[in-house]
Amino acid sequence: MTIQGARWSPLLVVLSLLLLSALGIALGSAVGSTGFESWLTVMQDDTAWQIVWDIRLPRSVGACAAGALLGLAGALAQGLFRNPLADPYLLGSASGASLGVAVALTLFGGNPFATEFLVRLGLTGSAFIGAVLAVLLTLVLARGVQHTLRLLLAGVIVGVVLGALASLITLMRPDVLQGMQGFLLGSTSFIGWNSCALMLGVLLVCVAVSFALSRVLDALSLGESTALSLGLPLAPVRVALVCVLALATGTAVAQTGLVAFVGLAAPHLVRSLVKTKHNWIVLLSALMGGVLLLAADLLARMLLSPQEMPVGVLTAVLGGGYLLWLMYRGQTTRAAR
């Protein structure tokens, strides 16, 4: 599902995406509840500058970083499973994060000792722990990473079961429904500088490890037998890839909630622009994911101003529409042949 014949220089795409990211962050810093504000006015008003520095700027940078983590995770998932429909939530991390948030919200009004612990942990920590534990459960059920199909099926089962448990908690405790709804629809409203630093640090680690393992992803694209014939240690590399995938996805989900289609659409957009190896695909998918989520965040703030739309709704609509267009284009191309 790519645009045939597209041949852009990877370096040119990198520079273009970096430019778009910088432009999006600048625009995001200038968008308030009443629309765009002049930077000259902001610089002359101490209160306005504090709002920009403490709220808008970290929100825009954080949206870009979270999107980059999801884009990178999507590229790794599609390369690992050799499936263009694989996304970062395939191993059950989304359902695990939802269950972690549901449990935390439920216990906030329960045991005082649990409440004190959860206040320190926070919903962000609960979501991250839930996502990581879900991936570990998937690995246990799949008995390791030796069989890709078994790992894929285990991830689907874990996602369904944990999602059902989260729904059961919200059914039994309707008071947590509002908090769960905010998490499930995704939001960048509460990202601060600490969250930005955390996501950027995790992103650098994940990009570095992914670069180191990109040769194995190239070999896997030719088939497991070919990769084994080249003498590549598939089992340890798969473990490392799953760990990077879980870390990137868990970090992004913990900060922004469930943002749909960014991790799925970003690698497709990259492959529609360039035809290259996985070292470039991983980097470009991260940059593309950052641009996509940043653009969605801007639209979410502007479309119904002064109110905001959930950013996850926009990414689902726009990302789903793009993938449907790709499917239609692919069917039209095959029919023409």
32 bridge partner residues: 35
36 bridge partner residues: 31
pLDDT (0 to 100) of residue 257? 87
Domain coverage including residue 299: 10-336
pLDDT (0 to 100) of residue 34? 57
Q: How many domains are there within the chain?
A: 1
Q: For the stretch 292-323, what's the b/e string if a residue is b when 16 or more beta carbons lie within 10 angstroms of its beta carbon?
A: bbbbbbbebbeeeeeebbbbbebbbebbeebb
Domain assignment of residue 5, yes or no: no
Domain harbouring 145, CATH code: 1.10.3470.10
pLDDT (0 to 100) of residue 4? 45
Domain assignment of residue 71, yes or no: yes
CA–CA separation, 99 vs 162, rounded Å?
Answer: 6
Domain assignment of residue 2, yes or no: no
Domain assignment of residue 1, yes or no: no
pLDDT (0 to 100) of residue 111? 47
Which of 14, 12, 61 shows the shortest CA–CA distance to 286?
14
Dihedral in degrees, nearest 10, Cα atoms 99, 102, 106, 107? 60
Domain assignment of residue 15, yes or no: yes
pLDDT (0 to 100) of residue 35? 56
Domain assignment of residue 3, yes or no: no
Domain assignment of residue 256, yes or no: yes
Tens-binned pLDDT, residue by residue, of the chain (337 aa): 444 445 688 889 999 999 999 999 988 887 765 555 555 555 566 676 677 788 888 999 999 999 999 999 999 999 888 888 888 998 898 899 999 888 888 877 544 445 455 555 677 888 899 999 999 999 999 887 777 788 888 989 999 999 999 989 888 888 888 778 878 888 888 888 998 999 999 999 999 999 888 888 877 776 666 666 666 677 788 888 889 999 999 999 988 888 988 989 899 889 888 888 888 999 999 999 999 999 999 888 888 777 788 888 888 888 777 777 777 776 666 666 5
- Please count the CA atoms within 13 angstroms of the CA of 158 that sit on its side-chain side: 29
pLDDT (0 to 100) of residue 120? 52
Domain assignment of residue 4, yes or no: no
Q: pLDDT by residue (tens digit) across 303-330?
A: 877 778 888 888 888 877 777 777 777 6
